[in-house]
Amino acid sequence: MDKLDLNITIIGLGLIGGSYAMALKELNPKKIYAVDIDEKAIDDAEKIGIIDKGYLEADIPLKESDLVIICLYPKLVEKFVKDNINNFKNGAVITDVTGIKSEFIKEVNSILRDDIDFVFGHPMAGREQKGLKFASKDVFKGANYIITPTERNKEKNLRFVEELVKKIGFKNVMSISPEKHDKIIGFTSQLPHVIAVSLVNSDNLGVETGLFTGDSYRELTRIAQINSDLWTELFTGNKENLVREIEIFEENIKKIKNAIINEEKELLSEIMEKASKKRKEMS
C-alpha cells in the first residue's frame, strides 16, 4: 500500500477525532499520534491500533508532526493553538473540524506563527453519540466537506487538505468564504438541530410516544440527542445568522398553519408541491 509520507497528530479523541484516526490509519501515514486529556481514550486508541502513540500533553508529538488535526470544541481550539504556539513543527499544516468559522478564524489567525498554515475545514458528518467508542471510519463516507480558505493559506496546502479528505471518504469538497459558510450552516445544520430539539420538547401527549411514531418522527428527532455543550457554543457563536434562519422558518410555519386554519386547499397543495420539487432536486 502507498504510504502517506507524513506524521499526523490528532488533537482530541472524541467521535470525530477517533473517526479521523481510523480513516487516516488506512492511508498508512508514517506515524499517527493523538493527544487527549482522557487517559482511557488514549489507551483504547492505542489498543485498537488506530494511533501509534497517544499523549496527555501535545508538545512531543507536535514537534514532529507535518499535519495537525484539531478535533476540539470551538472555544478550545484557540486556547490550544495559543498554548502550543511554540510546539508546532516548522511549516506545519493545521486543520480543524469546527462548525462555525468567521469570528473563530479571525481569532485563531491573529495568534498564528507565520510559518504555520491553518487550513480551516468543516466535515459535515457526525453522529448523535459522542466519544471514541462511537467513532468509525464510515462517518465520513459520502459526506460533504467545506473548506473556508483565508488569505494566509498556501494554494498547495488547500489542495492537500482537499485531496486528503477525499481519500478518507468525503464526496463533495466545497470552498467558500467563512462568512458564507456561517450563513449556510445556520440553515443546513443549526436550524435542523433547533427544530429537532423543539419538536421533542413539544411532546405533550402523555403516552409512550415511541409506540405511535412512524419513520418521520424518528428521523426528525434523531439529532435531538444532542451534545448540549457543543451546540450551545455553536448556536451562540453564530447567533445572527441562526436567528435570521429561525425567523424565516417561523414565517413558513405560519404560512402553512394559516392555510390549514382557513382550509385553503389549493394554497396548501402549492406549498407542499414547492417543497417537494425542491427536495427531489436535491438528492
CB of 130 to its own copies, least distance (A): 11
**112 or 271, CB closer to its own copies?**
271
Residues 55-74 contacting its own copies, CB under 8 A: none
CB of 9 to its own copies, least distance (A): 26
CB of 131 to its own copies, least distance (A): 14
217 binds its own copies (CB under 8 A): yes
202 binds its own copies (CB under 8 A): yes
Nine cell digits for residue 164: 486528503
252 binds its own copies (CB under 8 A): yes
- Per-residue x/- track, 99-138, its own copies (CB under 8 A): -------------------------xxx------------
**110 or 204, CB closer to its own copies?**
204
| b/e map 195-222, b = 16+ CB within 10 Å | bbbeebeeeeeeeeeeeeeeeeeeeebe
Return d(Cα 98, Cα 119) in angstroms, integer. Answer: 11
**28 or 209, CB closer to its own copies?**
209
229 binds its own copies (CB under 8 A): yes
User: Residue count at the site for its own copies (CB under 8 A)?
Assistant: 87
Q: 1-6: which pairs have CB atoms within 8 A and are 24 or more residues apart?
A: 1/28, 2/28, 3/28, 3/29, 3/30, 4/28, 4/29, 4/30, 5/29, 5/30, 6/30, 6/66, 6/67
CA 129 to each of CA 50, 71, 223, 224: distance values in angstroms, whole numbers, following the listed order: 19, 15, 9, 11
| C-alpha closest to that of 173 among 161, 185, 184 | 161
Return d(Cα 212, Cα 118) in angstroms, integer. Answer: 49
268 binds its own copies (CB under 8 A): yes
85 binds its own copies (CB under 8 A): no
**2 or 263, CB closer to its own copies?**
263
CB of 83 to its own copies, least distance (A): 23
Return d(Cα 259, Cα 268) in angstroms, integer. Answer: 6
Q: Which residues are 121's β-sheet partners?
A: 147
23 binds its own copies (CB under 8 A): no
153 binds its own copies (CB under 8 A): no
**60 or 176, CB closer to its own copies?**
176
Q: Phi first, then psi: what are they for 4, rounded to 5°?
A: -90, 110
239 binds its own copies (CB under 8 A): yes
CB of 90 to its own copies, least distance (A): 35
Binding its own copies (rule: CB under 8 A), the pick from 37, 85, 111, 275 is: 275
- How many helices (H) and strands (E) would you count in the chain? 12, 9
Which 8-state DSSP code applies to residue 168?
A: T
